[in-house]
Amino acid sequence: MSKALRIGVAGLGTVGRGVVKVLQQNGDVIAARAGRRIEIVAVSARHRSNDRGVDLSSYRWYDDAAAMAADPGIDAVVELIGGADGAARRIAETALQNGKALVTANKALIAHHGMALAALAEEKKVPIRLDAAVAGGIPIIKAISDGLAANRCTAVFGILNGTCNYILTQMEQTGRSFADILADAQRLGYAEADPSFDVDGIDAAHKLAILSAVAFGARLSFSAISITGIRDVTPVDMKYADEFGYRIKLLGIARHSAAGLEQRVEPCLVRKSNPLAAVGDVFNAVVVEGDFVGRTVYEGRGAGEGPTASAVVADLVDVARGNRTPVFSIPVRQLTALQAVARGALVASFYLHLRVLDEPGVIAAISESLRDQEISIENLVQRGEASGGGIDVILTTHETREDKLITAVDKISKLRTVLNRPVAMRMIRA
Ligand SMILES: NC(=O)c1ccc[n+]([C@@H]2O[C@H](COP(=O)([O-])OP(=O)(O)OC[C@H]3O[C@@H](n4cnc5c(N)ncnc54)[C@H](OP(=O)(O)O)[C@@H]3O)[C@@H](O)[C@H]2O)c1
């Protein structure tokens, strides 16, 4: 067997600890697959004395992870600290500058600095591997860049954030509010003390930016992604969605067509027959469509110690085998700046939920506003007792341009008889 791949692990939290465990427990099978042993030689974290439940005594300890990244006795650096800047970025740059392979699970770092890091890696002729950064244990980057390499990808979309999927699943099953379920998720450790990265859709958008680059050869453009989180999703809308045969999911959606590149993260109504609708709790799922392969679907645990460490170690096996596939599947200078589809140009069916006064002419006025924009109604139902608070009108539209819907909703929301800020969500039918 050739000589071992010597690695340094920066960050010994949930994922870092998992990587140490996988390499300690499965070292023999991993070596057989990689063609050589993968040996941890050094580790780094902030607090040396923390008990991490793994034996670290045979590894060199670094208080300064950037110094570890420059250690000439290390071939590959595994960055598992997190954050787009600060220590993580310093370590990544130091590793590449020193001609070492970089393996990371850090989607924020890659979404914001991936182009520069990829260019540096190519200049230094070393690989970056980041499968763990997108959908945890699902090998989605490898699936697209290797398994689907023959295809022009037309769409990649899915459930990219386990915390949001857990919250939405619980809301649907219990009828309890977003705030209540979020508080539970924080107690159970499924959501961070500051949940905004997850629930506001930013984490999913980081992953979507990376998927777009790999699937479409697009230059990373996090700022081009339209992002809406799940804070405004209510159990009432989930109930109505259910009546129409749909579930509400936070989706990351990237589509490449003649009109350009659409990249959005938003809560959508997903028809129950779509494979994404059945994906509950902390699970992730990604759908990739290619011109020759058609639709492919990938599902699994999108986070957690074991699944994420599994992806990190698979990336290390890739490095140990000498695989030099460019980080975004094609060389960074060949990535193209794809024109973003203007937000209003999206064509989709929409769900609308209005709270209205129960009096004659209300539905006629709503229908007129939609008709003025050439939007045709597919379904319309009224629900609820007429009390001082009004009744619910829920409708779904046939396909329409989003700017037409926005104009109509704007007009509807100004009607005296409409009591709420109308809820509008895109519907995913197929
Ligand atoms: N958790 C998941 O399920 C998951 C899934 C996919 C991707 N990821 C990504 O994986 C990365 C790590 O996540 P995690 O959940 O393992 O984070 P975590 O549990 O918070 O662990 C972070 C680790 O980084 C160490 N650290 C912080 N600042 C450091 C510094 N300046 N120098 C050296 N070490 C430092 C911490 O040290 P101390 O322990 O001493 O404080 C800790 O061990 C993130 O990029 C995250 O987005 C995580």
CATH number of 73's domain:
3.40.50.720
- Sequence length of the chain is 430
pLDDT of residue 430: 81
Domain-ending residue, one of 133, 162, 187: 133
Domain-ending residue, one of 87, 110, 133: 133
Residue 215, CA atoms < 13 Å, CB-side half-sphere? 29
In a domain, 328, yes or no: no
- CATH code, domain carrying 394: 3.30.70.260
Distance CA 95, CA 41 (A): 15
Question: Is residue 106 lining ligand 1, measured as CB closer than 6 Å?
Answer: yes
- CATH code, domain carrying 265: 3.30.360.10
Q: Tell me: do 104 and 161 sit in the same domain.
A: no
- The pair phi, psi for residue 379, each rounded to 5°, is -135, 145
pTM for the whole structure: 0.96
Ligand 1 atom nearest residue 106's Cα? 45
Q: Tell me: do 354 and 386 sit in the same domain.
A: yes
Q: How far apart are the CA of 229 and the centre of ligand 1, in A? A: 24
Provide the domain count of the chain. 3
Q: Tell me: do 120 and 161 sit in the same domain.
A: no
pLDDT of residue 387: 60
Ligand 1 atom nearest residue 109's Cα? 45
Q: At what angle do helices 402-413 and 362-372 cross, to 10 degrees?
A: 150
Q: Tell me: do 149 and 217 sit in the same domain.
A: yes
In a domain, 314, yes or no: no
Q: Tell me: do 97 and 124 sit in the same domain.
A: yes
In a domain, 289, yes or no: yes
pLDDT in tens, the chain (430 residues): 689 999 999 999 999 999 999 999 999 999 999 999 999 999 999 999 999 999 999 999 999 999 999 999 999 999 999 999 999 999 999 999 999 999 999 999 999 999 999 999 999 999 999 999 999 999 999 999 999 999 999 999 999 999 999 999 999 999 999 999 999 999 988 888 899 999 999 999 999 999 999 999 999 999 999 999 999 999 999 999 999 999 999 999 999 999 899 999 999 999 999 999 999 999 999 999 999 999 999 999 999 999 999 999 999 999 999 998 999 999 999 999 999 998 789 999 999 999 999 999 999 999 999 999 999 999 999 988 656 679 999 999 999 999 999 999 999 999 999 999 999 999 999 8
Q: Tell me: do 77 and 170 sit in the same domain.
A: no
Question: Is residue 307 lining ligand 1, measured as CB closer than 6 Å?
Answer: no
Residue 2, amino acid: S
Residues forming the active site: 207
Q: How far apart are the CA of 290 and the centre of ligand 1, in A? A: 34
Q: Tell me: do 192 and 57 sit in the same domain.
A: no
Question: Is residue 311 lining ligand 1, measured as CB closer than 6 Å?
Answer: no
pLDDT of residue 189: 83
pLDDT of residue 342: 86
pLDDT of residue 388: 63
Q: Tell me: do 125 and 151 sit in the same domain.
A: no
Q: Which helix (H) or strand (E) holds 300?
A: strand 294-301
Closest CA to 197 of 223, 237, 230: 230
Question: Is residue 46 lining ligand 1, measured as CB closer than 6 Å?
Answer: yes
Question: Is residue 50 lining ligand 1, measured as CB closer than 6 Å?
Answer: yes
Distances (CA, A) of 192 to 3, 135, 423: 41, 17, 27
In a domain, 323, yes or no: no
The domain containing residue 91 runs over which residues? 5-133
**Helix runs in 201-294, H state only:** 202-216, 235-243
Is 338:27 a contact under the CB 8 Å cutoff?
Answer: no
pLDDT of residue 343: 77
Nearest CA, atom 27, ligand 1: 81
Ligand 1 atom nearest residue 304's Cα? 3
pLDDT of residue 1: 66
In a domain, 232, yes or no: yes
Q: Tell me: do 168 and 210 sit in the same domain.
A: yes
Joined tokens for residue 416: 């005296």
Ligand 1 atom nearest residue 45's Cα? 34
Q: Tell me: do 171 and 237 sit in the same domain.
A: yes
Q: What residues have CB less than 8 Å from 392, skipping those under 6 apart?
A: 236, 240, 353, 354, 355, 356, 382, 383, 384
Is 136:304 a contact under the CB 8 Å cutoff?
Answer: yes
Which of 81, 104, 163 gets mutated to test ligand 1 (max ligand atoms within 8 A of its CB)? 81
Q: Tell me: do 289 and 157 sit in the same domain.
A: yes
In a domain, 74, yes or no: yes
Q: Tell me: do 272 and 382 sit in the same domain.
A: no
Domain-ending residue, one of 101, 133, 165: 133
In a domain, 312, yes or no: no
Question: Is residue 20 lining ligand 1, measured as CB closer than 6 Å?
Answer: no
Q: How far apart are the CA of 81 and the centre of ligand 1, in A? A: 4
pLDDT of residue 170: 97
In a domain, 228, yes or no: yes
Q: What tens digit of pLDDT does each residue of 14-48 get?
A: 999 999 999 999 999 999 999 999 999 999 999 99
Distance CA 71, CA 149 (A): 36
Joined tokens for residue 163: 């915390």
